[in-house]
Amino acid sequence: MIRLLGLIVALIAAAPAAAQTLTLDEVLRSSATHAPAILEAITRERQADGRRLSAEGAFDLLFEGDAQSRLAGYYDGTVVEGKATRPLANNGGYLFGGYRVSRGDFPIYEDKAFTNRLGEVKVGAVFSLMRDRLIDERRGRLGLAGGDIQLARLDREMVAIGVQRRAIDAYQTWVVAGLRVQVYRDLLSLASERQASIERQIALGARPQILGTENRQNIVRRQTLVVRAEQDLAAAANALSFYLRDENGERLVPAADRLPGRFPELRLPALGPDLARRIERPDLEAILVRLDQVEVKRLLAENELRPRLDIRAEAAKDVGPVGLGGSSRTPAEGIVGLRFSLPLERRAARGKIAEAAAEADGLRLRRKLIEDQILVEVNGLAIQAGAADRLVALAADETALADRMAAAERRRFQLGASDFILVNLREESAADARLRQLDAEFRRSAARAELVAATVDRDQLGL
């Protein structure tokens, strides 16, 4: 008894595990993670991040150094100077601080070069009061770079939606190809089983010899249909492998034993006249981002129209023993200054403003166009989905009736009340009805998948 139990356990352990059915969720998870098109879009997003970091570099702390010495001539002065500048993030001005030290004698026209023995320390700031106060080239580039990041993200989402939609289509095509193979195999099985019965009846003299030949011809024809369907299944599996990948991103061709027995169930989205505003379409969001970028360009152009008025304030103090410049360098200094400039014709700025206004109008019109296209597209797909539901129901009824007719005709043939041609016609009619039902189910599933993609149902798209 113990040996018998051990043998049973060994046989169970040695038996190959049943292949797990390949689900749509598994395909979508794989394509969302490893699809080359999505990975390429992610690299463009990283490029946009790099451009923003580069734009932030305009606000980096800058250090400058300068040294000069007279090697020949009456004067022997030497000056060494270092300066650090930090641009302001909320103004077009900047903060600065520096240190300067000199040795030797300078001509009177370079009197500012003199410092005390330990040098001069200086700090100050420049603030823009009109032009560059609210926006300047640095902040404008930073804002545009931030918009480019959002556009790259939205482009990645659009690419991902397209990839997932095509992955669903490839999966559905693979499923329907597998179901068609099963229909043709069932049809072949009926003819093969009938051949054994016919040969027994021929041996008994109840049927003519030609009937067996005719049925064998029918078997060969149905085998041809099976081979063609299997070829279509292999092609569909190969196409699906573009989206189904392993952990290393390598393609996986799904085996036929992983085929499901039916199409995936996709939920219909809630429809309505406000659908275009309810769904979060990346292409609509991208237009809003572009409008923000156009607004930045307009503000930059308006900034160029303004006169420049900058105020400068600085404080300086020489330290250490008095140098050759005298004691006048020792007291602390405070200096305030203004700089003013006014562009006169300003045609370049006015042209940029007009260009930005026209671009903004075009983007608003494009947004309206896309919203209308979404409503038309979604309503059309909803009509297709509704009609497909009705066609599936009718095709299912036709299949049930055709199966009943074929079964009844086979019983009549077994009783000798029907002929081979009529039985064959009934069986092929039932198979054709089943194929039409599969086509109707495929179109229904495809219409729902289109609706899922058009309404950006991220859950069902696996995003």
- pLDDT, tens only, 373-407: 888 888 888 888 888 888 888 888 888 888 787 77
Q: What percent of the chain has pLDDT over 70?
A: 89
Write down the residue that tokens 């959002």 correspond to: 150
CA nearest to 281, candidates 144, 162, 445 = 162
Q: What percent of the chain has pLDDT over 90?
A: 37
Spatial distance between the Cα atoms of 422 and 418, rounded to a whole number of angstroms? 7
- Its sign, for the CA torsion 445, 450, 453, 454, is negative
Q: Which residues pair with 68 in a beta bridge?
A: 79
CA nearest to 119, candidates 139, 102, 104 = 102
The pLDDT of residue 298 is 93
Residues 260-309: pLDDT tens digits? 988 888 887 776 666 656 677 888 899 999 999 999 999 999 998 899 99
- Which helix (H) or strand (E) segment is 318 a member of? strand 308-318
Residues 41-83: pLDDT tens digits? 999 999 999 999 999 999 999 999 999 998 888 888 899 999 9
Spatial distance between the Cα atoms of 250 and 150, rounded to a whole number of angstroms? 30
Question: Helix count (H) and strand count (E) of the chain?
Answer: 10, 6
Q: Helices 36-56 and 24-34 meet at what angle, rounded to 10?
A: 40
Domain ranges of the chain: 19-54+139-290+355-461, 61-133+307-345
Q: Diameter of the chain by CA atoms?
A: 139
Tell me what the mean pLDDT of segment 115-130 comes to: 91
The pLDDT of residue 416 is 63
The region, left, alpha or beta by phi > 0 then psi within -120 to 50, assigned to residue 456 is left
Amino acid at 297: K
Q: Which residues contact 244 (CB under 8 A, 6 or more apart)?
A: 22, 26, 27, 30, 31, 251, 252, 253, 254
Q: Which residues contact 306 (CB under 8 A, 6 or more apart)?
A: 130, 131
- Its sign, for the CA torsion 139, 143, 148, 153, is positive
Pick the CATH number of 19-54+139-290+355-461 from 3.30.360.10, 3.30.420.40, 1.20.1600.10, 3.30.479.10: 1.20.1600.10
DSSP state of 57: G
Tell me what the mean pLDDT of segment 331-344 comes to: 89
